[in-house]
């Protein structure tokens, strides 16, 4: 049976709309936890699964408990003392600076250094005496209390100062809402001149790296602290290497560009993960991570995967809520635990585990998937031929399906996690129906055909799009996407549609060149990120009912929902405005890329006037535009030609579309 056999179904061709990123390149644990505390306190044992939307306020409820806790662990009277002891002074200071820089993005380095000193002084006091009254407060409360004591907070931050009047957890939620990604009031990191930077590094290493950390944190207020420290380590390695070169600047420019690109990619994925956790709740989030862990660590037993899964959820919550000290400590502890059991988890993390702790966690996250065991038995016997399936399913619904996700994902690294969740949901639906019949085994005996439908739909979408891109090139591929999505979402601005189309084209360019067994998870992974960005905008600027439904109904089915979405029948086009279609001599001097852009904007604006327009109508108008440009650019009086021919093109286009004057 192809769908749940030990070998892959037929090789995945490719897919169109999803979100974990390249299946082998990273993504695994976006977060971590550790050894002492999490082995000491058993995380909730109940595995998780849901293919449907879990209540989005699950996270908020947990967040409330997090922020209202006094000290999270009963074995630690003082959370701040515990974290200071774990991280040691230099790392604790760095993460404290990151936390303040991400909340108070307008503050100077020197100004924040005073707040950092206050918190470090408190931590040292609490290490000496954990029973002191202020030492029992939660870390988020300590940081927010410090912020709320900043002199003239309102003068610099306006309405953000009102957050201080709220009780936790609303206070933290309020502060988070004022964070600005890539703010225009913050300049990018200014590297010292090449003639001084190497001396500066030798003489003032802590200050130099501190300013780098500060600059990155305030420009990227949602980037997790462990990642920022990992980037700082990359920067330090660059300095160590480039300061030996004759052209220090050229060397650093190249390495800085790579660090910046890495930061951007990681930031996008971290914001995506936080968005999914917040929107769909913990159960869906953990089901997705369970599928990813099964793919990445196929040799690890189910019990170990579930153990780290519970902690990963907790760390993501800490990181997403801005609780960077605990995020840093817990992630480091989890990686320490995993490195102590390399033989259990993966042969691919050996080199990572030999790195310093600040670099270790990001390395483990980005490590390749481990090799799949060769002796994995077929799942047919366990999940289809077994006559006790219904008994196991009904006894513990979540545990049974969690194990199904684990078993299925570790056999299929060539699938996306979203597809694995759709397959699981299909299997769940089948059991819900069949287990009520007189002969369940006969009823679910054809599960292969049902589950293969999900696989084939996804493979076909990827295959079709990759063939279109490969055959016709990026420009025509982008035009096809613009036509498709303008019809689905004509309310969206032309510039935003172009932005979305370019992002989807970038996904195709990246993923379609990969081997077939990596195209599908890459495509659906990155497209899920694009869709999540669309859905985030939809929340503040509603598009239409179809988009709202696809964004909110099911995480696993988001991409297929957008793929199947038709023309918005409720859309009322705006009046035809000839001023939107201006043609001038710039079309003749424009580069091919600029000319294509003008062509695409014309196309989008026409479709907005009639979303039901056919491919033939689109081709007629596009050919007319090309002919007009070719003709007028050869004339001596270009402006007059465009004035006349442009007017004719508009009349012909309206006639083609049946749009009245």
Read off the pLDDT of residues 550-588 as tens digits, 9 standing for 90 and up: 999 999 999 999 999 999 989 999 887 777 777 878 888
Do 34 and 337 touch, CB atoms closer than 8 A? yes
DSSP 383: I
Residue from 506, 462, 18, 477 nearest 264 by CA: 506
Given this model, what pLDDT does residue 596 score?
A: 84
* 12, pLDDT greater than 60: no
- How many C-beta atoms surround the C-beta of residue 546 within 10 A? 20
pLDDT of residue 27: 34
**For 130, phi and psi rounded to 5 degrees?**
-70, -15
Residue with tokens 């930031």: 267
Residue boundaries of the structural domains of the chain: 1-24+385-567, 578-657
What end-to-end distance do the CA atoms of the chain give, in Å? Answer: 60
Tokens standing for residue 396:
């513990």
- The encoded tokens of residue 656 equal 């083609």
Between 250 and 9, name the one with better pLDDT. Answer: 250
CA distance 549 to 556: 13
Lowest mean pLDDT among 382-391, 453-462, 651-660: 651-660
Q: Name residue, tokens 């050229």.
A: 250
CB 163 within 8 A of CB 178: yes
User: At residue 459, does pLDDT exceed 50?
Assistant: yes
Backbone angles phi, psi at 461, to 5 degrees: -65, -45
pLDDT attached to residue 44 = 36
515: buried, middle or exposed (CB in 10 Å: 19+, 13-18, 0-12)? exposed
Task: Report the pLDDT averaged over residues 152-160.
Answer: 95
Q: What is the pLDDT of residue 4?
A: 36
Phi and psi, residue 18, nearest 5°: -165, -155
Mean pLDDT of the chain: 87
pLDDT score at 592: 85
- Per-residue pLDDT band at 65 (split at 50, 70, 90): very low
* Cβ neighbour number for residue 591 with a 10 Å cutoff: 8
pLDDT of residue 29: 29
3-class DSSP state for residue 367?
A: coil
Q: Minimal CA–CA distance to 5: which of 452, 379, 412, 449?
A: 379
Mean of pLDDT values over 165-176: 95
pLDDT-derived band at 660 (thresholds 50, 70, 90) equals low
| Contact between residue 220 and residue 267 where contact means Cβ atoms under 8 Å apart | yes
Round the CA-based radius of gyration of the chain to a whole number and report it: 28
Which secondary-structure segment (H or E) carries 61? helix 57-68
**Could you report the per-residue pLDDT of 280-338, keeping only the tens digit for each?**
999 999 999 999 999 999 999 999 999 999 999 999 999 999 999 999 999 999 999 99
- CATH code of 1-24+385-567, in short, is 1.10.246.10
From residue 522, how far is each of 263, 266, 346, 453, 501 by CA, in Å? 19, 15, 21, 20, 17
Which CATH architecture group holds 578-657? Answer: Orthogonal Bundle (1.10)
Q: pLDDT band at 454, cuts 50/70/90?
A: confident
pLDDT at 63 over 80: no
Are the C-beta atoms of residues 105 and 183 closer than 8 Å to each other? Answer: yes
Question: Angle at Cα 9 formed by Cα 7 and Cα 11, nearest 5°?
Answer: 105
At residue 578, the pLDDT reads 75
Identify the three-state secondary structure at position 179.
coil
pLDDT at site 586: 84
Kindly report, residue by residue over 228-274, the tens digit of the pLDDT: 999 999 999 999 999 999 999 999 999 999 999 999 999 999 999 99
Query: Which whole number is the average pLDDT over 201-213?
Result: 95
- Rounded Cα distance between 305 and 292, Å, is 10
**How much is the average pLDDT of 10-15?**
28
The pLDDT of residue 28: 32
What pLDDT is attached to residue 75?
62
Q: How far, in Å, CA of 526 to CA of 520, rounded?
A: 10
- The whole-number pLDDT of residue 397 equals 93
pLDDT tens column, 636-651:
999 999 999 988 988 8
Q: What is the mean pLDDT of residues 118-129?
A: 97
Per-residue pLDDT, averaged over 612-634, amounts to: 90
Return d(Cα 259, Cα 252) in angstroms, integer: 10
Q: Rounded CA gap, 276 and 2, in Å? A: 30
Residue 349 sits at φ, ψ, to 5 deg, of -110, 10
């Amino acid at each position: 049976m192809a769908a749940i056999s030990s070998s892959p179904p037929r090789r995945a061709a490719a897919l169109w709309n999803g979100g974990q990123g390249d299946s082998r390149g990273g993504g695994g644990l976006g977060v971590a936890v550790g050894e002492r505390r999490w082995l000491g306190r058993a995380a909730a044992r109940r595995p998780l699964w849901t293919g449907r939307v879990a209540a989005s306020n699950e996270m908020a409820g947990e967040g409330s408990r997090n922020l209202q806790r006094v000290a999270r662990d009963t074995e630690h009277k003082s959370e701040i003392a515990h974290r200071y002891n774990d991280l040691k002074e230099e790392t604790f200071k760095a993460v404290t600076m990151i936390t303040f820089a991400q909340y108070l993005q307008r503050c100077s380095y020197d100004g924040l250094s005073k707040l950092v000193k206050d918190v470090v002084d408190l931590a040292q006091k609490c290490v000496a005496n954990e029973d002191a009254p202020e030492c029992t407060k939660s870390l988020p409360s300590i940081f927010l209390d410090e912020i709320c004591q900043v002199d003239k907070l309102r003068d610099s931050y306006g309405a953000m100062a009102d957050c201080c009047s709220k009780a936790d957890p609303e206070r933290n939620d309020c502060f988070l809402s004022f964070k600005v990604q890539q703010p225009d009031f913050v300049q990018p990191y200014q590297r010292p001149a090449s003639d001084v930077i190497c001396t500066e590094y030798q003489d003032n290493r802590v200050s130099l790296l501190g300013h780098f950390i500060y600059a990155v944190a305030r420009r990227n207020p949602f980037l997790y602290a462990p990642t920022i420290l990992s980037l700082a380590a990359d920067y330090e390695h660059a300095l160590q290497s480039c300061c030996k070169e004759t052209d220090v600047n050229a060397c650093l420019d190249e390495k800085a560009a790579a660090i910046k690109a890495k930061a951007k990619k990681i930031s996008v994925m971290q914001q995506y993960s936080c968005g999914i956790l917040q929107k769909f709740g913990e159960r869906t989030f953990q089901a997705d991570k369970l599928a990813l862990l099964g793919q990445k660590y196929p040799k690890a037993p189910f019990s170990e995967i579930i153990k780290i899964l519970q902690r990963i959820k907790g760390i993501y919550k800490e990181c997403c809520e801005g609780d960077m000290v605990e995020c840093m400590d817990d992630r480091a502890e989890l990686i320490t635990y995993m490195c102590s059991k390399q033989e259990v988890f993966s042969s691919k993390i050996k080199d990572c585990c030999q790195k310093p702790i600040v670099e270790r966690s990001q390395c483990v996250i980005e490590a390749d998937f481990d090799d799949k065991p060769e002796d994995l038995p077929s799942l047919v016997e366990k999940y289809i031929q077994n006559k006790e399936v219904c008994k196991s399913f009904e006894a513990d619904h979540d545990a049974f399906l969690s194990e199904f996700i684990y078993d299925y994902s570790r056999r299929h690294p060539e699938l996306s996690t979203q597809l694995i969740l759709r397959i699981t949901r299909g299997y769940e639906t089948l059991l819900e129906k069949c287990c009520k019949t007189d002969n369940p085994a006969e009823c679910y005996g054809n599960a292969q055909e049902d589950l293969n439908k999900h696989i084939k739909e996804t493979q076909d979408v990827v295959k079709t799009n990759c063939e279109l891109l490969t055959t016709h090139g990026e420009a025509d591929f982008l035009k096809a996407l613009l036509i498709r999505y303008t019809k689905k979402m004509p309310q969206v601005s032309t510039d935003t549609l172009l932005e979305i189309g370019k992002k989807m084209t970038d996904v195709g360019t990246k993923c379609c060149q990969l081997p077939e067994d990596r195209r599908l998870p890459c495509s659906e992974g990155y497209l899920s990120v694009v869709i999540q960005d669309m859905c985030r905008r939809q929340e503040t600027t509603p598009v239409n009912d179809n988009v709202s439904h696809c964004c909110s109904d099911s995480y696993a089915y988001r991409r297929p929902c957008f793929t199947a979405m038709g023309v918005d029948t409720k859309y009322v086009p705006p009046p035809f405005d000839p001023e939107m279609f201006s043609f001038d001599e710039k079309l003749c001097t424009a580069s091919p890329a600029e000319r294509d852009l003008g062509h695409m904007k014309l196309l989008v604006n026409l479709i907005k006037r009639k979303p039901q327009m056919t491919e033939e109508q689109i081709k007629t108008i596009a050919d007319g535009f090309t002919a007009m440009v070719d003709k007028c650019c050869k004339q001596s009086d270009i402006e007059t030609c465009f004035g006349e021919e442009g007017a004719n093109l508009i009349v012909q286009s309206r006639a083609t579309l049946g749009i009245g004057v």
